[in-house]
Structure 1
Amino acid sequence: MVVNRMILNETSYFGKGAIQEVANEAKKRGFKKALVVTDKDLLKFEVATRVTAILDEAGLSYEIFDGIVPNPSIEDVQAGVKACQAAEADYIVAIGGGSPIDTAKAIGIIVTNPDFSDVISLEGTAATENPALPILAVPTTSGTAAEVTINYVITDKAKQRKFVCVDPHDIPVVAFVDSDMMMGMPKGLCASTGMDALTHAIEGFITKGAWEMTDMLHIKAIGIISHALRDSVAGNQEAREKMALGQYIAGMGFSNVGLGLVHGMAHPLSAWYDTPHGVACATLLPLIMDFNKDHTGEKYREIAIAMGIDGAADMPLSEVRDAAVQAVKQLGIDVGIPQNLTEIGMKEADIQQIAEDAYRDVCSPGNPRDATVEEIVALYKSML
């Protein structure tokens, strides 16, 4: 008998103005002092300060840790742990995209599980005993869904690799999904994080662990994202509101069933070339969809219908699979996603080692079609 598990936030708020609830949640939970985890740009452009102003108005104490960079490293996490301990914080307010929220998860876990202070021992499904320091998560991008997942990704610079941590203890207790916080995204970031969200939804829909409840979430997310992303990139707030919801719904699903080879192959690209995660995923998604298509039953038909492809319900299966792949590829082209790996700096001489890293990535076994190292090498080479 298969037992399926669903883990979601304790509480989430959605819509314009949702961040106004941050202080109320902190107060009613009896929190005393926060470590605000964010990055310097979000402070500079007065995005994170929208939240700290609410804390100020409520008389809530906090200290800021803004040492977050894209693709956060073991050292970044360790610096954050020291900052959290020095502040004597009893909760974390994480403001940003995947990098700040992922870092906050690792900080929160280590503060309450100090045996994992090396960070690297958190890789995979670590046997932590205690819930993380409570995290209130405020996403500023429409893509990673880090605010609702039990996953986070850290870079091991010494070994030039990313590693994924999967831990039910790390999920934020409250998420505040406020489209006002996402209006400052530049077009490129909006596009790449939005395509990352679509990747989550599609990979979660076809992964080996998928089941009825997550299928329901993922197919809804595919429909929302595919119809809203172009307008979201153009700066339309209603579309960004839809993207904020779509990416969260995708996160509800994939966090509980895993992903696949797109993420498995994207992680080492970020580690080797410091490529933004969403860009790596978006560039690879059509390629891996094509690789997987004969191992997905009728699911590409459902994807095609959700994306609004004319005649998808009645097309022959082979045609509708190709149509779904092409629709995803065209969406990426329309929002400015690179169409080859040379554009993001990949070198043919690196491919063998990168392919081996991808093969070992924790996401890759969830792919509906098993891939050998040699097949992964060929996939990378086909994108140069």
Structure 2
Amino acid sequence: MISQFNFPTIIRFGAGVIKELPAYLIKNGFKKPLIATDPNVFELPFFKAIIADLQQAGFEPEIFYDIHKNPVKSDVYKGGDAYDNANCDCIIGIGGGAGLDVARAIALRINHREDLFKYDDLIGGDVYITNDVPVLITIPTTAGTGSEVGRSAIISDDETHQKKILFSPKLLAAIVFADPMLTMELPAFITAATGMDALTHNMEAFLAKNYHPICDGIALEGIKLISESLEKATNNPDIESRSKMLLGSMMGAIAFQKGLGVVHSLAHPLSTLLDTHHGLANAVNIPYGMRFNIEGNEEKFKRIAQTLELKEHTGEAVVQYLFDLNTKINIPHKLSEIGVKIEHIETLADLALADFAHPNNPKPVSREDFKKLYLEAL
């Protein structure tokens, strides 16, 4: 069944909904879309089928896929040049977080031509996002970042790999085509890692110190949907589990406008220093970060445990659930299993302390705390 709901972006959701894309472009008068994706998605059969459908409808889309798995500024500049050179009139982002972040950043770049990082939200750069942006259409192919419903893009500096946030309500997609069929052939590892990313978004958003009861409710429902579906989606996927994961992922991205926390600040430096997959970095770190947050937040952990339908409604029960879930979906329990070495710890702690996520954590996190957490997880 195909459904439509708005929050605030129009979301077309359901198996086969991707077939509506050509008609949407025609109805809205678009002639030349730029399709931004990543090199892996570019090679997949479903992507080729999307392009074939567009071509059959009379479109000759410009395809841009020269991006890094952790996108950098030069990726965005090259994408903007591709848009200009082909005289494109809209942007379609297809993929996981990398493809969708680059698509959104290209949309910003088209009519905002100063240095991209002038618009970094962490230094108040959102005030310079004053011009219109091209229409952005997003099509998720993983259930992880939820970038399809977001209004921000995380792009790294080419040299330092420091992450910057481009943020503005102008960067919301005009419409999302969320088709769980596009996620059916995801490898088990990607399903597991991106799924744990989505779970981390929901849990950290619920715990974040900012007051936003609407996000709290969305986050709890996201946790519920993911807990019901991630193991099956990873090990024996069907359309129901893939659909629940896609919904839970979107809920996480909506909820984390409230903020994130310590887990993301532990994870981001792994991508910066070691180019670790973001979802995997969150997955390994989340039990340790959640344990750190229990003290002083017992009531919130009780709510999470109730949502997970655990026998004991405690923070430790939630932490054990996370370790057990990682085991079931073949996620390592230790950072040493994903390439982290003892000599990385000091640099990782410095990067984590400088990260943008932990100021919204429900309790303060010092450099010494980060170092202890990394050593505990090592």
Aligned to 1:244: 246
CA distance in 2, matches of 1:363, 1:311: 29
Aligned to 1:39: 38
RMSD across aligned positions (CA): 1.7
Query: Normalising by the residue count of structure 2, what TM-score does the alignment of the two structures yield?
Result: 0.93
Kindly indicate whether the alpha-carbon contact (under 8 Å) linking 1:9 and 1:173 is maintained by their aligned counterparts in 2.
no
Query: How far does residue 297 in structure 1 lie from its aligned partner after superposition?
Result: 4.1
Query: Any idea what the Cα deviations from partners look like across 1:54-79, whole Å, max 9, x if unmatched?
Result: 32232233111111231111121111
Per the alignment, residue 343 of structure 1 pairs with 337
Distance 1:210 1:58, change over 3 A: farther
Q: Counterpart of 1:232?
A: 233
Partner-residue secondary structure (3-state), 2:189: helix
Do the aligned partners of residues 177 and 209 (structure 1) sit closer, same or farther apart at CA in structure 2, a change above 3 Å counting?
A: same
- 1:8-54 Cα deviation digits (max 9, x unpaired): 44311111011122123222322221001112322322221232223
Work out whether residues 8 and 149 of structure 1, in 8 Å CA contact, stay in contact via their aligned partners in 2: no
Q: Are the aligned partners of 1:224 and 1:243 in contact in 2 as well (CA < 8 Å)? A: yes
Paired position in structure 2 for 1:361:
355
CA distance, structure 2, for counterparts of residue 97 and residue 39 of structure 1 = 8
Deviations for 1:127-165, whole angstroms, at most 9, x for unmatched residues? 211243211111110111000112221122311333333
Q: Please say which of residues 229-238 and 47-56 is displaced more in the overlay.
A: 47-56
Give matches, 1:301-312, under 5 Å. 301-312=302-313
Amino acid at match of 2:254: M
Give, in whole Å, the separation in 1 of the partners of 2:311 and 2:371. Answer: 35
Structure 2 CA distance for aligned equivalents of residues 27 and 172 of structure 1: 17
Q: Equivalent residue for 2:366?
A: 372
Matched, 1:68 2:62: no
- CA deviation vs aligned residue, 1:216-272 (integer Å, no higher than 9, x gap): 100000000011000000222321111111111222211x21211111121111011
CA contact (8 A) 1:268 1:354 kept: yes
Indicate how the Cα distance of structure 1 residues 166 and 297 shifts in structure 2: closer, same or farther if over 3 A, else same: farther
TM-score norm. by structure 1 comes to 0.92
- Runs of 4 or more consecutive aligned structure 1 residues displaced over 6 Å after TM superposition: none
Contact 1:15/1:179 (CA < 8 Å) preserved in 2?
yes
2: distance between equivalents of 1:275 and 1:64? 26
Task: Give the Cα–Cα distance (whole angstroms) in 1 for the partners of residues 132 and 252 of structure 2.
Answer: 24
Deviation at 1:363, TM superposition (A): 1.1
User: What is the aligned-residue identity percentage?
Assistant: 34
Specify the SS of the correspondent of 2:276. Answer: coil
Higher relative contact order (CA 8 A, sep 6+): 1
- Counterpart for residue 205 of structure 1: 206
**Which whole-Å CA distance do the structure 2 matches of 1:311 and 1:342 have between them?**
30
Confirm or deny: 8 A CA contact 1:131 1:170 kept in the other structure: no
State the match for 2:191 in structure 1: 190
Cα distance in 2 between the residues matched to 1:169 and 1:46:
32
Paired residue for 2:3? none
The answer as to 2:326 corresponding to 1:327 is no
- SS of the aligned residue for 1:280 comes to helix
SS of equivalent residue, structure 1 residue 338: coil
CA distance change for structure 1 residues 325 and 63 in 2, over 3 Å: closer, same or farther?
Answer: same
Cα deviation for residue 120 of structure 1 reads 6.2
- Aligned residue number for residue 96 of structure 2: 97
Q: Structure 1 pair 307/77, CA: closer, same or farther in 2 (3 Å)?
A: same
Query: Alignment partner of 1:339: what SS?
Result: coil
Paired residue total: 369
